[in-house]
Amino acid sequence: DIQMTQSPSSLSASVGDRVTITCRASQGIANYITWFQQKPGEAPKSLIYAASILYSGVPSRFSGSGSGTDFTLTISSLQPEDIATYYCQQYRTYPFTFGPGTKVDIK
Amino acid sequence: EVQLVESGGGLFQPGGSLRLSCAASGFTFSDHYMDWVRQTPGKGLEWVARIRNKANGYTTEYAASVKGRFTISREESKSSLYLQMNSLKTEDTAVYYCTRSPVNIGPSDFWGQGTLVSVSS
């Protein structure tokens, strides 16, 4: 199975800060990565697919990049409503696998 | 409005069986693959199973941890997804999410609210 790792596991940042989360795959997955946001007590919400394409309705302050094994999710200007845990998932090969998550809160 | 509503969760004994259901609405069910994903505090998110649409032969994929015990199925006339869970183990305890995946994109783009399955004696 492809292992997905994320760093950091948690971070605290101020409103307006630029936040970057990294996801690494144990083997090359081209651009077959998606990012989810999960707020406490809620279901995950899909943000990005194919490494960099935003789903409809996702704020433009979110962006994704990367290819192969290294990927990033960036929030250009952190907002209070962005407090959540963020997960990456590869869908290049079955079984699809998730990263362990990065918890983001406000400093 | 897109909706995925899971049901069928509860408390079950090891070795037992249950069937989860997911009622879909607000989109063209037949244009989507459907997946089950589960989440536990300890193991995080785990993809469980996928079923493709009619155009792709209703073929299925399973995680190794559930293969041979769980069966994913769908009923187009009811826009419903199912997960038959047999030979339950305590490690199957999790919140189970139903998700949809547009055929032309690949990954899940919408998740239901989830249903909690607890397996304990």
pLDDT at residue B105 in the model? 83
Mean pLDDT of A84-89: 98
pLDDT at residue B42 in the model? 79
Which residues of chain A does B34 touch, with a Cβ-Cβ cutoff of 8 Å? none
Which residues of chain A does B50 touch, with a Cβ-Cβ cutoff of 8 Å? 94, 96
Which of A96, A98, A102, A103 is the best residue to mutate to test the B interface, defined by the most B CB atoms within 10 Å of its own CB? A96
Q: What is the largest CA-CA distance in chain B?
A: 43
> Nearest residue of A to residue B96 by CA position?
A43
Q: What is the largest CA-CA distance in chain A?
A: 38
pLDDT band, very low/low/confident/very high, at A87 (cuts 50, 70, 90): very high
pLDDT at residue B106 in the model? 85
B8 contacts B84 by C-beta, under 8 angstroms: no
pLDDT at residue A5 in the model? 98
Mean pLDDT of B15-27: 98
Q: How far is CA B56 from the centre of its chain?
A: 18
Which residues of chain B does A98 touch, with a Cβ-Cβ cutoff of 8 Å? 44-47
Question: Dihedral sign, CA of A22, A17, A11, B93?
Answer: negative
Mean pLDDT of A63-86: 98
Q: What is the pLDDT of residues B56-115, one digit of tens each?
A: 999 999 999 999 999 999 999 999 999 999 999 999 999 999 999 999 888 999 999 999
Q: What is the pLDDT of residues B25-57, one digit of tens each?
A: 999 999 999 999 999 977 899 999 999 999 999
pLDDT band, very low/low/confident/very high, at A81 (cuts 50, 70, 90): very high
pLDDT at residue A53 in the model? 97
Q: Which two tokens stand for residue A70?
A: 């290294």
